[in-house]
């Protein structure tokens, strides 16, 4: 017996989403998506729809949801401006490999190409920034398109998918049957692992005197945190983490030597140019990690574990590429490793860590006098959550400071816009994260610039009572740009000072409890108040205006040549 039933395309979308196990979506209605919203109303008890205040917020919320949970984040928006408002989030999800499905309304097929009201060529616009972008023109394509969208977004190297849903297809009826896609003949989500590459990688590591591992987000995406730990422990290899890989290895793990990159820790950066074997796992040698490629790890043999063949030799030429799912490949290589000890090599990191601690970290987190520092606020919040919270950041100095001074003890605990560096990402992403992991504390650190870029999402926080712990690190500047102006543009502060509103009044208008802290002596009580208040809270920390993020590899500089002061 067939279980076919005649329903509309809009109703089919609801059933298809439920068939995929979706329980949360972030969206905003409008003309071309009204039939879908009409159907959604009757499914609202299964499909929890979060009404955002701007479609960009919907995409970042879906990203935050996906990054915290590992599931696909879903957005539902209207055509035209609703659709174009999602572009930044889609591009962000693409470059940071985040599984999201954006479903946008579109004018009816008979209007396509005629510059109809609220028509934009969404597929054309989003093709370069999605894994797949598809226009649904007929109701009967809905089950297949949704199944394919979820399969593509979540398999292999994850990424965003756009479904552009023509209005006629929303209202036409057809015989619905649930559909699953688990094969696309032109798409190889996980490439085969060459067994020779496994042997060669193990051989290089077994012979290494000074191995260094670079941990990327791929480890979290591949759910290979345990495999990574076994891998580095067996061969006693120090490991540095990229910004997006920070929580793939607990901060206090014996072999964790800190954060890589422009504002990362001194030791792993310096040691990148001293190691004899460099092992990159699920990272893509971004320029913010490598600095000048011409002087990057030239002395080392390089092994690259990745799921995406297009990443191999893209930026850095490697000696061995281990393609495949790192959960499997790490295990396979670990099996061939000879247990080793690299006592001296590991000890050689300590003087650099100590130098950074004395010259940068201590003055940042325990200044003792003067205005509050960003770092001390971040560390105090982290410790008050027993380092168990999910960290969400915005972009700028606040991002680098929170990434550096937060501590990570659990998987999937950092949500930040890495590749695109999208100001305004933090607040909506944090809202999304609270729906993904309701049992965890979600803390978002933002600058005064970035908070205002999606300030409207305070409305979503208010309506949903989303328990977001919002920490505004207010320096009255577009601080990150100001720091560059100070360092490279002769302190010419061109349009970086900013007149700020009274954030306490803003919070009050939204009915969100809040506290402003100017004095060091008030900080810890305010943090306690924030964490003990049920629901959302805005903590404004008025921090040093002209603080700088250090250390720093100047743009185009070499990884082992970091500035400790400026």
By CB under 6 A, name the binding residues for ligand TPP: 394-398, 421-424, 447-450, 473, 475, 477-481
123 binds, among other proteins, Mg ion, ligand TPP, none (CB under 5 to 8 A by kind): other proteins
Q: Which of residues 124-153 bind other proteins (CB under 8 A)?
A: 124, 127-128, 131-133, 152
Torsion from C-alpha of 382, 385, 388, 389, nearest 10 degrees: -80
Minimum distance, C-beta of residue 373 to ligand TPP, in the bound complex (Å): 12
Asked if 314 interacts with other proteins (CB under 8 A), we say yes
* Shorter beta-carbon distance to other proteins: residue 281 or 321: 321
* Shorter beta-carbon distance to other proteins: residue 185 or 341: 185
Minimum distance, C-beta of residue 492 to Mg ion, in the bound complex (Å): 18
Q: Which residues pair with 281 in a beta bridge?
A: 215, 305
Helices 397-405 and 374-384 sit at what angle, rounded to 10 degrees?
40
Minimum distance, C-beta of residue 258 to Mg ion, in the bound complex (Å): 25
d(CA 209, CA 240): 17
**Token couple for 311:** 């990443």
**Token couple for 489:** 């543009």
Minimum distance, C-beta of residue 298 to other proteins, in the bound complex (Å): 17
* Shorter beta-carbon distance to ligand TPP: residue 25 or 471: 471
* Shorter beta-carbon distance to other proteins: residue 185 or 492: 185
- Say if CB 169 and CB 136 are below 8 A apart: yes
- Say if CB 526 and CB 515 are below 8 A apart: yes
Minimum distance, C-beta of residue 92 to other proteins, in the bound complex (Å): 18
What angle is formed at CA 492 by the lines to CA 489 and CA 497, rounded to 5 degrees?
125
Among 310, 347, 499, 534, binds other proteins (CB under 8 A): 310
Minimum distance, C-beta of residue 566 to Mg ion, in the bound complex (Å): 18
Minimum distance, C-beta of residue 474 to Mg ion, in the bound complex (Å): 7
- Say if CB 469 and CB 388 are below 8 A apart: no
Q: Which residues pair with 552 in a beta bridge?
A: 563
Minimum distance, C-beta of residue 4 to other proteins, in the bound complex (Å): 23
**Token couple for 357:** 């601690």
Asked if 15 interacts with other proteins (CB under 8 A), we say no
Closest CA to 100 of 180, 144, 158, 49: 158
* Shorter beta-carbon distance to other proteins: residue 315 or 411: 315
3-class DSSP state for residue 454?
coil
* Shorter beta-carbon distance to Mg ion: residue 103 or 374: 374
Whole-angstrom CA distances from 335 to 96, 111, 197, 213, 282 are 30, 60, 14, 17, 19
Numbers of helices and strands, H then E, in the chain? 25, 20
395 binds, among other proteins, ligand TPP, Mg ion, none (CB under 5 to 8 A by kind): ligand TPP
* Shorter beta-carbon distance to ligand TPP: residue 9 or 428: 428
d(CA 531, CA 469): 7
* Shorter beta-carbon distance to ligand TPP: residue 181 or 420: 420
- Say if CB 59 and CB 88 are below 8 A apart: yes
Minimum distance, C-beta of residue 299 to other proteins, in the bound complex (Å): 21
Respond yes or no on whether the N-terminal peptide bond of residue 155 is cis (omega within 30° of 0): no
Residues that bind Mg ion (rule: CB under 5 A) add up to a total of 5
Which residue stretches of 336-373 are H helix? 343-347, 350-356, 362-365
* Shorter beta-carbon distance to other proteins: residue 128 or 370: 128
Instruction: Report which residue's Cβ sits closest to Mg ion.
Output: 447
450 binds, among ligand TPP, Mg ion, other proteins, none (CB under 5 to 8 A by kind): ligand TPP
Minimum distance, C-beta of residue 448 to Mg ion, in the bound complex (Å): 4
Minimum distance, C-beta of residue 481 to Mg ion, in the bound complex (Å): 9
Q: Which of residues 447-506 bind Mg ion (CB under 5 A)?
A: 447-448, 475, 477, 479
Helices 426-436 and 55-69 sit at what angle, rounded to 10 degrees?
50
- Say if CB 408 and CB 247 are below 8 A apart: yes
127 binds, among Mg ion, ligand TPP, other proteins, none (CB under 5 to 8 A by kind): other proteins
Asked if 180 interacts with other proteins (CB under 8 A), we say no
Instruction: Report which residue's Cβ sits closest to ligand TPP.
Output: 447
* Shorter beta-carbon distance to other proteins: residue 127 or 209: 127
- E strands, 208-255, are 211-215, 239-241
Residue holding tokens 């159907």? Answer: 39
Residue by residue, DSSP assigns 79-107 as: STHHHHTTHHHHHHHHHTT--EEEEEEE-
d(CA 35, CA 318): 52
Residue holding tokens 């790192």? Answer: 326
Q: Which residues pair with 297 in a beta bridge?
A: none
Minimum distance, C-beta of residue 422 to ligand TPP, in the bound complex (Å): 6
Closest CA to 19 of 176, 188, 189: 176
* Shorter beta-carbon distance to ligand TPP: residue 12 or 377: 377
Please give the distance of CA 46 from its chain centroid, rounded to a whole number.
Answer: 27
* Shorter beta-carbon distance to other proteins: residue 183 or 495: 183
Name the pairing type of β-strands 277-281 and 537-542.
unpaired
Among 45, 183, 196, 521, binds other proteins (CB under 8 A): 183
- What is the contact mask toward other proteins in residues 92 to 131, using x (rule: CB under 8 A)? -------------------------------xx--xx--x
Among 140, 287, 308, 522, binds other proteins (CB under 8 A): 308
Asked if 187 interacts with other proteins (CB under 8 A), we say yes
**Token couple for 412:** 């999937």
Binding positions for other proteins, rule: CB under 8 A: 123-124, 127-128, 131-133, 152, 183-188, 308-310, 312-314
Binding positions for Mg ion, rule: CB under 5 A: 447-448, 475, 477, 479
């Amino acid at each position: 017996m067939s279980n076919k039933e005649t329903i509309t395309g809009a109703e089919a979308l609801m059933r298809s989403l439920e068939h995929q196990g979706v329980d949360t979506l972030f969206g905003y209605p409008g003309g071309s998506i009204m039939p879908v919203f009409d159907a959604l109303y009757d499914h609202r008890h299964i499909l929890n729809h979060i009404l955002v205040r701007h479609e960009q917020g919907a995409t970042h919320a879906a990203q935050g949801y996906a990054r915290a949970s590992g599931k696909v984040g879903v957005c539902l928006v209207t055509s035209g401006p609703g659709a174009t408002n999602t572009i930044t989030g889609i591009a962000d999800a693409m470059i940071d490999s985040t599984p999201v499905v954006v479903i946008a309304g579109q004018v009816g097929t008979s209007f396509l190409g005629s510059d109809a009201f609220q028509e934009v060529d969404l597929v054309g616009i989003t093709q370069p920034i999605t894994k797949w972008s598809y226009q649904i023109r007929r109701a009967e394509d809905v089950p297949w398109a949704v199944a394919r969208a979820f399969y593509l977004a979540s398999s292999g190297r994850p990424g965003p998918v756009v479904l552009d849903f023509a209005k006629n297809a929303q209202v036409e009826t057809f015989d619905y049957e649930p559909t699953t896609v688990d094969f696309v003949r032109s798409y190889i989500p996980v490439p085969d692992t060459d067994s020779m590459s496994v042997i060669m990688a193990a051989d290089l590591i077994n012979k290494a005197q000074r191995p260094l591992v670079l941990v990327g987000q791929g480890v979290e995406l591949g759910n290979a945190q345990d495999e990574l730990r076994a891998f580095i422990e067996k061969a006693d290899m120090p490991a540095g983490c990229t910004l997006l890989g920070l929580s793939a290895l607990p901060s206090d793990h014996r072999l964790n030597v800190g954060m890589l990159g422009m504002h990362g820790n001194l030791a792993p950066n310096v040691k990148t140019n001293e190691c004899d074997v460099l092992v990159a796992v699920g990272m893509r040698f971004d320029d913010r990690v490598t600095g000048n490629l011409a002087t990057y790890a030239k002395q080392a043999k390089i092994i690259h574990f990745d799921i995406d063949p297009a990443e191999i030799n893209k930026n850095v030429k490697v000696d061995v590429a281990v393609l495949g799912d790192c959960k499997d490949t790490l295990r396979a290589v670990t099996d061939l490793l000879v247990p080793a000890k690299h006592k001296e090599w590991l000890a050689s990191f300590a003087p650099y860590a100590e130098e950074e601690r004395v010259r940068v970290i201590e003055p940042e987190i325990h200044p003792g006098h003067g205005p509050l520092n960003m770092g001390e606020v971040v560390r105090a919040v982290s410790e008050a959550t027993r380092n168990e919270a999910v960290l969400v950041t915005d972009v700028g100095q606040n991002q680098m400071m929170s990434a550096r001074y937060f501590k990570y003890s659990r998987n999937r605990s950092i949500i930040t816009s890495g590749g695109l560096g999208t100001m305004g990402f933090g607040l909506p992403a944090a809202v999304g994260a609270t729906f993904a992991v309701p049992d965890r504390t979600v803390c978002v650190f933002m600058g005064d610039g970035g908070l205002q870029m999606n300030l409207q999402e305070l409305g979503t926080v208010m309506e949903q009572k989303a328990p977001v712990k919002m920490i505004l690190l207010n320096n009255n500047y577009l601080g990150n740009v100001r720091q560059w102006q100070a360092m490279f543009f002769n302190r010419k502060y061109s349009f970086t000072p900013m007149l700020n509103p009274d954030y306490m009044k803003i919070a009050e208008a939204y009915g969100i409890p809040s506290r402003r802290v100017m004095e060091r002596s008030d900080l810890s009580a305010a943090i306690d108040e924030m964490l003990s208040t049920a629901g959302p809270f805005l903590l404004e920390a008025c921090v040093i205006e002209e603080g700088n993020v250090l250390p720093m590899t100047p743009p185009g500089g070499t990884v082992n040549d970091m500035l400790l002061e400026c």
